[in-house]
Structure 1
Amino acid sequence: MSSGVGESCIVRHFESYAELSEKDRRLLLSLEDGPRTWTKNAIIWSQGDESDGFYTIRKGWVCAFRDLQDGTRQVLDVYVPGDIVGLREFAFQTRISSMIALSDAELCPFPKSHLAQVFASSVTLCSTIFMITARDQAILLERLVNLGRRSAREKLAHFLVEISHRLQRTNAQVENHLSLPLSQGVLADALGLSAVHVSRTFQEFRTEGLLETGNSHVVLLDIEGLETVAGFDGCYLEQPVSELLLADPHPSSASLP
């Protein structure tokens, strides 16, 4: 168990959505297991494993993927420090995708069995979980548009800009939001492109001064330029509306119609 509220992954993430009471903080802290570590390229869980909870990423990068019958892989999403992983499988008994560490990573588990206590104890925490899942869904919808309707240049630029924006929102402790530990292979699998196509597009972007690549990293040099290439509109990354957190969960009878 974490030793203090300030060290809690889940508390820090929830507080990015809403102001928590001391009771809410202590409840989350009491239910969160201590952080666990994985080395780069380690499988965190595999498709078909028991879906026993979700995790908050304390350090490092991970990605969700599905292996296909022809031996190829589809990367479903890349997760950055501060993100929550595993909530999509809340209603399932087994994992519907696999998760791998893209770098050395430290994740804090939150067992699924503890969610019932959260739902019963705090309207604020329950509402926050719904807001987190709504934002996750919005990212998935934008990813569908990116995969289906944009050119290779637009796909790659959009994905890189999105990751940079997500880093800035979820984890202030990251020193450089412009250096992404993403290989060309991971990007190809995430965008439905061949590694050759990604390499060619990277070469174009390097020539245009938009980014640099090397050592399985991408360094973004010109975010605005990449946003222009992608036609990027970050409205789907905005914080969800939080008015429901301010609503009185027990309205008086006088206010009822």
Structure 2
Amino acid sequence: MDGREAGAPSGMTPAAAGVGGEAFCALVWRVQQLAPVSKAARDRLLALKGPDRRVARGETLIAQGEAHGRVHLIQSGWCASARLLKDGRRQIHRIAIPGDFIMFDALLRGHSPVEIEALSEMRVAPLDEAGLKEAMATDQRVFLALMAAVVRDESALIERLASLGRRSAEERLAHFLVELQDRLVGLGLTDADDGFDFPVTREQLADAMGLTTIHIYRTLRRLKDKRLCELRDGRVRIFDLAGLSRLALYDPHVVDPPLNAG
């Protein structure tokens, strides 16, 4: 958005880290965002990661109320975290992409308060809980990398609450799309102003925006008529990134805050 690559470590771009590729390790990448990692340290981090598991689109990784398994890393693909109400309605509060942790609260909580569903085909990797806790206690870089992930998730949730409470339908959808664009650019998974593949259905988008599906269709039409963006055939095309950001009242430093790792 403002020329930065969110989270890119000095001398190493996210694309160079192979984000989403078979050899990618999200935990190593997270730590490298804060400081260089020696080969020995990298090997120790890799030892915490279990074998990648492939997840089909639409598969539920964990059901709401289900006993937690282990903390997982997203190696590739997207998923949605949602809170389900007793009458069947749901609120999607988080879209997770490569490099993100899921079920992180498994370190402290016995049962999941949310449902996590794969929005696309995914590869996820479990982390060894005992080894992760030991690494957090003995390696400041690991501790800071995990806290950085928590802080960024909290910042994104703050903006989501502001959108649901105060932004108009156009503003909240614009903010959601610009935020995703910014995150994917930071990962090296899309160009700065080209748009991105979007495996989210209109119904899922409605659940994330707190709107009806019909309202989503109408809002997308208005954004297209204003020549700001278009959602078509599973891809978001952004025609005017600056204009979409102005409409969204977007502040990249809230969504991806500068972190003090000193």
Shorter-chain-normalised TM-score: which range?
Answer: 0.7 to 0.9
Match of 2:8 in 1: none
Asked if the contact 1:168/1:177 (under 8 Å) is kept, the reply is: no
Structure index of larger Rg: 1
- What's the CA shift string for 1:217-242, capped at 9, x where partnerless? 43323221211111111112335423
Residues of 2 paired with 1:67 and 1:96: CA distance?
A: 9
Identify which range, 48-57 or 59-68, moves more after superposition.
48-57
Change (3 A) 1:207 1:102: same
Change (3 A) 1:72 1:10: same
The percentage of counterpart residues that share the same residue type is 29
Match of 2:154 in 1: 137
Asked if the contact 1:184/1:216 (under 8 Å) is kept, the reply is: no
Match of 2:202 in 1: 184
1:18 aligns with 2:20: no
Asked if the contact 2:196/2:237 (under 8 Å) is kept, the reply is: yes
- The match for 1:123 among 128, 137, 140 is 140
1:235 aligns with 2:229: no
**How far does residue 173 in structure 1 lie from its aligned partner after superposition?**
4.3
Asked if the contact 2:30/2:99 (under 8 Å) is kept, the reply is: yes
Gaps of 5+ in 2: 1-21
Match of 2:232 in 1: 214
**How far does residue 136 in structure 1 lie from its aligned partner after superposition?**
1.3
Residues of 2 paired with 1:94 and 1:138: CA distance?
A: 24
Q: TM-score under structure 1 normalisation?
A: 0.85
Read off the aligned partner of 2:34 and give its amino acid letter. Y
Read off the aligned partner of 1:154 and give its amino acid letter. E
Match of 1:199 in 2: 217
**How far does residue 88 in structure 1 lie from its aligned partner after superposition?**
4.0
Residues of 2 paired with 1:92 and 1:237: CA distance?
A: 26
Residues of 1 paired with 2:105 and 2:157: CA distance?
A: 11
Read off the aligned partner of 2:115 and give its amino acid letter. S
Residues of 1 paired with 2:203 and 2:76: CA distance?
A: 22
Q: How many corresponding residue pairs?
A: 239
- The match for 1:52 among 62, 66, 69 is 69
Could you list the structure 1 runs, at least 4 aligned residues long, displaced by more than 6 angstroms after superposition.
none
**How far does residue 162 in structure 1 lie from its aligned partner after superposition?**
0.6
Residues of 1 paired with 2:259 and 2:219: CA distance?
A: 37
